[in-house]
């Protein structure tokens, strides 16, 4: 019995397929990876975070994009859909479709059980290659906890975190704050989750 060789899909072929697809997929190294839907807590956290950031970014030279904006990590070839993206200054796009962003300042991922390891590991490894990226934020879904990795002048990444609904988390890269009570508005926590 022989294994069928994987067929390689070029980035151009991926983009052509993706732009006409009914669902979103990530792309890396010639392969497409279908994305799954999000849970209720994930959606509520996203909406609350969008509300908080869009209010603070109003009349500032930063744009907030939700999870339908694709990001290309040019140095590695990854195409992905972060949960939230902020670009400060002029947004740069891969082509004239204006649907593949190249220069995020801040990326936020809401952690889910199925993606947490990837978001913390391999995906962050890709994101660190983006010269424009100043901060990477992970928001827990099952407990009030936010952590941030901020790029330092020596290109290392500094971890800061905040837990508990009475705390406020500072996003230095975009000069904004997230009150955890607002981010987790309407979220019911199960005491069994840490």
The domains located in the chain, with CATH, are 37-182 (3.90.1570.10)
* pLDDT tens, position by position, 115-174: 899 999 999 999 999 999 999 999 999 999 999 999 999 999 999 999 999 999 999 999
Beta carbons of 110 and 123 less than 8 angstroms apart: no
DSSP state letters, 43-65: HHHHHHHHHHHHHHHTTSSEEEE
Cα angle, residue 166 at apex, residues 162 and 170 outer, rounded to 5° = 45
DSSP SS3 for 137: strand
Q: Kindly report the number of other CB atoms within 10 A of residue 188's CB atom.
A: 8
Q: What is the pLDDT of residues 39-91, one digit of tens each?
A: 899 999 999 999 999 999 999 999 999 988 999 999 999 999 999 999 999 99
Q: What is the pTM of this model?
A: 0.91
């Amino acid at each position: 019995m022989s294994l069928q060789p994987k067929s390689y899909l070029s980035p151009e072929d991926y983009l052509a397929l993706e732009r006409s697809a009914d669902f979103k997929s990530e792309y890396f190294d010639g392969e497409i990876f279908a994305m799954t839907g999000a849970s209720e807590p994930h959606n509520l956290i996203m909406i609350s975070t969008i509300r908080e950031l869009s209010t603070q970014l109003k009349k500032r030279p930063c744009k907030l994009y939700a999870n339908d904006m694709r990001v290309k990590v040019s140095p590695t070839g990854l195409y992905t859909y972060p949960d939230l993206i902020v670009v400060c200054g002029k947004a740069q796009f891969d082509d004239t479709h204006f649907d593949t962003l190249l220069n995020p300042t801040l990326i936020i991922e809401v952690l889910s059980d199925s993606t947490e390891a990837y978001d913390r590991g391999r995906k962050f490894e890709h994101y660190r290659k983006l010269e424009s990226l100043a901060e990477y934020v992970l928001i827990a879904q099952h407990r009030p906890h936010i952590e941030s990795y901020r790029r330092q002048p020596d290109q290392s990444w500094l971890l800061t975190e905040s837990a508990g609904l009475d705390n406020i988390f500072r996003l230095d890269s975009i000069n904004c704050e997230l009150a955890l009570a607002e981010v987790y508005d309407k979220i019911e926590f199960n005491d069994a989750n840490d």
